[in-house]
A and B are shown apart, each in its own frame.
Chain A
Amino acid sequence: MNFITIDKNDWAAGIDQLKKTYLVFGPVQDENGCQIKPLAPDVQPEMGAPATVMSPKSVLFPQTEKILTATLDESSKDHHIMKPVDKNDTPRAVLGIRPYDAKAVQLVKLNFDNPDYKDPYWCDAYDITTFVGVGVNRPGPCDFSTSAGCGPFSEQGLDVLMADLDDRYLAKVLTPKGEAWAAACGFDTPADTAESQTLFDILQKEAEKQINTAISTDNLAQKTILDLYEAPFWDDVAFSCINCGTCTFVCPTCWCFDIQDETKHQTAVRFRNWDSCMSPLFTHHASGHNPRESKIHRVRQRFMHKLKYFLDKYDQGIMCVGCGRCVASCPVNIDIREVCNLMNDYQKDK
């Protein structure tokens, strides 16, 4: 771990140099707000941008991703035999993400990289990706990351954490991937470790002070799944829900997906798409039976998965980093902070 200082006048040139060896992603402003996208050759990342509507999860987990393909041409020797698609193994760097999004990647990793199976698409992408975050000097009103096991200057999952000091960035290089990134950019001006750390600590404290909403999660582990599942508040929580998938799509920790086949001429393609537990189709059996047929089932599933099932299954905290995207984007203002606190405070009547 070491600190380097990057003059903002040198930043653009460094990123241009980075693009020679890396596929570079970063916040890009368009009329619909800010999104993390691959940067075109002439585009620089909007480093000071407000929180992005969508999380950067698509860098490792695109909304639509081809996974296998086969030819259906029976004159071909290998017809109807599925093969993996070609992958782009150019190293990727994601710039300007907020720290909670890197923490989210670590939570998603528990799903895609486990002792039984490794998802090769996600894992390969993860292996070649460097996460360069920027500490959040001014967290917004939806940010509750400090109470969700994270925070505006959290280092979890990041390869580099930068602090924005107006005329320069102070970068804390956390991993070998981070060192390789700095070298690829040509950023090599060392900064004093003790001084830099003190600066980081001050900024962190300042930022955390501005976060004035919190969730309580301390009681969740000791409650039983069935008690929470059968709690009386789900009807009220779900009333306003219109069962769109917005919350799940904007969420950095939602990983559910669908697998679909399509054919074009003589080529079959199997690909996967983000899916959403808000959709009735998600669990709809071919027989017509649907174990989560009402929206109450589906709303409950989302919160139970994030705040209870995940916690019980992995013992790594909740499946939420407190980014507040679902709160900001929900058309009907369902607020995970309220639901989490309802669950945490719930006492079953004896």
Chain B
Amino acid sequence: MDTCIEKIRAIGADLLAKGEVEIIIGFSDGSIPMAARPVAVSSRDDMEKLVFNSTCGLNLANYVSKNSLSGKGAKIAVVAKGCDARNLVTHMVENQISRDQIYIIGVPCTGMVDKRKIASMFEDEITKFAEEGDTLIIESALKKLTVKKTDVLRHNCQVCTHPNPPVFDVMAAEPVAEQTLDQPFADVDNIAAMDPEARWAYFQELTQNCIRCYACRNACPLCYCPTCFVDESSPQWVGKGQNQTDVTTFHFLRAFHCAGRCTDCGACVEACPMGINVREFTRKLNKDALELFGWEAGLDLEKRPPLDVYSPDDPNDFIK
């Protein structure tokens, strides 16, 4: 996947030279192994900062909804893998940005690595991470491992069916093959099969380490509300402490706010410092959106999201 970076830089340089965009939002190398840092590049000299690799797991659409730059009418290019592009489309569908404001440099994606999974293969801290094609070479003070990237993909990348941006202005490489899955929501089915008490216990345990830093929310491109419901003080919807009810309320409500909008980009999980698989909440809603409305978010600029429109033949089996 690292082969397309030269192409991305060339496209970026060309866009700046022609004055088509003022900044390019992409990833740069982080200061520690397996870290990537979102960066805004506005000069040709800085173009070398741009990188793209299997650690670029955040979603850059997050930087064009809440970014102060977007308010100024500047045209922005975004380096977008499949899910970033789908969230840009979602922004457009939700009138957060306009299509002509954004230049999408599409990157076909072969998946992002699960950094926690890799860290768990070591007893001490990782000191080096390198990527050669499909092979990862990872070192700590105690050992060196060579791992196949496909063995350490994030779960959302394992089940991804849209690695290529559905909407783009230019592609930085040839599209990659897209998979179809017989059972795209096996994880959700497993949870659904639990009896209610076990399911409740499962979710309580899932969030027991939550510190309410809201990294999941803040990393999510969907969470652009000017005041989040957890921050509202009059009325105050949710308590501010570590009470399990309040913690659970936050996660449940946030997930519901993402219903029919979530692209399963995994940025929430990537950002969580406590390793909570926040996707366990949103995945169920993605499954419902697909099964009840045939809907996957961010694929089409023209279609309205299912919760945005009423149709007389909307499924209503829940009314008993």
Q: Is B126 an interface residue (CB 8 A)?
A: yes
Which residue of A is nearest B38, CB measured? Answer: A240
- A331-B58, A331-B270, A333-B35 are known contacts. Are A141 and B213 too (CB-CB below 8 A)? no
Q: Is B44 an interface residue (CB 8 A)?
A: no
Q: Which listed residue, B63, B116, B241, B270, touches A271 by the CB 8 Å rule?
A: B241
Cross-chain contact B273 with A142 (CB below 8 angstroms): no
Q: Is A106 an interface residue (CB 8 A)?
A: no
Cross-chain contact B209 with A327 (CB below 8 angstroms): no
Q: Is A276 an interface residue (CB 8 A)?
A: yes
Contacts of B38 in A (CB 8 A): 239-240, 332
Cross-chain contact A32 with B209 (CB below 8 angstroms): yes
Cross-chain contact B243 with A245 (CB below 8 angstroms): no
Cross-chain contact A32 with B219 (CB below 8 angstroms): no
- A327-B31, A331-B58, A331-B271 are known contacts. Are A240 and B37 too (CB-CB below 8 A)? yes
Cross-chain contact B213 with A249 (CB below 8 angstroms): yes
Which residue of B is nearest A31, CB measured? Answer: B275
Cross-chain contact A333 with B240 (CB below 8 angstroms): no
User: Please, how many angstroms separate the alpha-carbon atoms of A138 and B140 in the complex?
Assistant: 10
230-281 of chain B: CB within 8 A of chain A: 231, 233, 239-243, 270-271, 273-276
Contacts of B145 in A (CB 8 A): none
309-342 of chain A: CB within 8 A of chain B: 327-329, 331-335, 337-338
Q: Which of A46-54, A68-76, A93-101, A147-155 contacts B (4 or more CB under 8 A)?
A: A46-54
The tally of residues in B whose CB lies under 8 Å from a CB in A reads 44
Contacts of A280 in B (CB 8 A): 231
Q: Which listed residue, A244, A250, A258, A338, touches B219 by the CB 8 Å rule?
A: A244
Contacts of B141 in A (CB 8 A): 138, 210
Cross-chain contact A242 with B271 (CB below 8 angstroms): yes
Cross-chain contact B271 with A140 (CB below 8 angstroms): no
Contacts of A248 in B (CB 8 A): 213
- A64-B241, A244-B218 are known contacts. Are A54 and B211 too (CB-CB below 8 A)? yes
A275-317 vs B, Cβ < 8 Å mask (1 yes, 0 no): 0100111000000000000100000000000000000000000
Which residue of A is nearest B215, CB measured? Answer: A244
Q: Which listed residue, A30, A31, A64, touches B242 by the CB 8 Å rule?
A: A64
Cross-chain contact A239 with B39 (CB below 8 angstroms): yes
- Nearest chain B CB to A25 CB, angstrom units: 16
220-276 of chain A: CB within 8 A of chain B: 239-240, 242-246, 248-250, 258, 260, 262, 271, 273-274, 276
Contacts of A329 in B (CB 8 A): 273
161-204 of chain A: CB within 8 A of chain B: none
Q: Is B178 an interface residue (CB 8 A)?
A: no
Cross-chain contact B214 with A244 (CB below 8 angstroms): yes
Contacts of B270 in A (CB 8 A): 331
Q: Which listed residue, B125, B214, B273, touches A140 by the CB 8 Å rule?
A: B125
Contacts of B317 in A (CB 8 A): none
- Nearest chain A CB to B67 CB, angstrom units: 8
Inter-chain CB contacts under 8 Å: number: 112
Q: Is B123 an interface residue (CB 8 A)?
A: yes
Q: Is A63 an interface residue (CB 8 A)?
A: yes
Contacts of B33 in A (CB 8 A): 141
- A140-B124, A333-B31 are known contacts. Are A260 and B240 too (CB-CB below 8 A)? yes
Cross-chain contact B215 with A242 (CB below 8 angstroms): yes
Contacts of A338 in B (CB 8 A): 31
Q: Is B43 an interface residue (CB 8 A)?
A: no
Q: Is B316 an interface residue (CB 8 A)?
A: no
Cross-chain contact B240 with A273 (CB below 8 angstroms): yes
Q: Is B135 an interface residue (CB 8 A)?
A: no
Which residue of A is nearest B214, CB measured? Answer: A244
Q: Is A120 an interface residue (CB 8 A)?
A: no
Contacts of B242 in A (CB 8 A): 63-64, 273
User: Please, how many angstroms separate the alpha-carbon atoms of A240 and B40 in the complex?
Assistant: 8
Which residue of A is nearest B226, CB measured? Answer: A280
Cross-chain contact B127 with A141 (CB below 8 angstroms): yes
Which residue of A is nearest B268, CB measured? Answer: A331
Q: Which listed residue, A30, A142, A273, A279, touches B241 by the CB 8 Å rule?
A: A273
Which residue of B is nearest A139, CB measured? Answer: B125
Contacts of B209 in A (CB 8 A): 30, 32, 35
Q: Is B311 an interface residue (CB 8 A)?
A: no
Q: Is B30 an interface residue (CB 8 A)?
A: yes
Contacts of A327 in B (CB 8 A): 31-32
Which residue of B is nearest A281, CB measured? Answer: B231
Q: Is A33 an interface residue (CB 8 A)?
A: yes
Contacts of B215 in A (CB 8 A): 242, 244-246, 331
57-84 of chain B: CB within 8 A of chain A: 58, 62-63, 68
Cross-chain contact B273 with A249 (CB below 8 angstroms): yes
Contacts of B239 in A (CB 8 A): 260, 262
What are 28 A-B residue pairs whose CB atoms fall within 8 Å in the complex? A30-B209, A31-B275, A32-B275, A33-B116, A33-B119, A50-B124, A50-B125, A53-B274, A63-B242, A141-B32, A141-B127, A242-B62, A242-B218, A244-B215, A244-B217, A245-B214, A248-B213, A249-B211, A249-B273, A262-B241, A273-B240, A273-B242, A276-B213, A280-B231, A328-B32, A331-B273, A332-B38, A332-B58
> Assuming A33-B274, A53-B273, what are 19 further A-B pairs, CB within 8 angstroms?
A31-B275, A54-B211, A138-B124, A138-B141, A141-B126, A239-B38, A244-B271, A250-B273, A260-B239, A262-B241, A271-B241, A273-B240, A276-B213, A281-B231, A294-B68, A328-B32, A331-B270, A331-B271, A333-B37
Residues of chain A whose beta carbon lies under 8 Å from any beta carbon of chain B: 30-33, 35, 50-51, 53-54, 63-64, 138, 140-142, 210, 239-240, 242-246, 248-250, 258, 260, 262, 271, 273-274, 276, 279-281, 294, 327-329, 331-335, 337-338
Closest 5 CB pairs of A and B: A140-B125, A244-B215, A331-B271, A333-B30, A64-B241
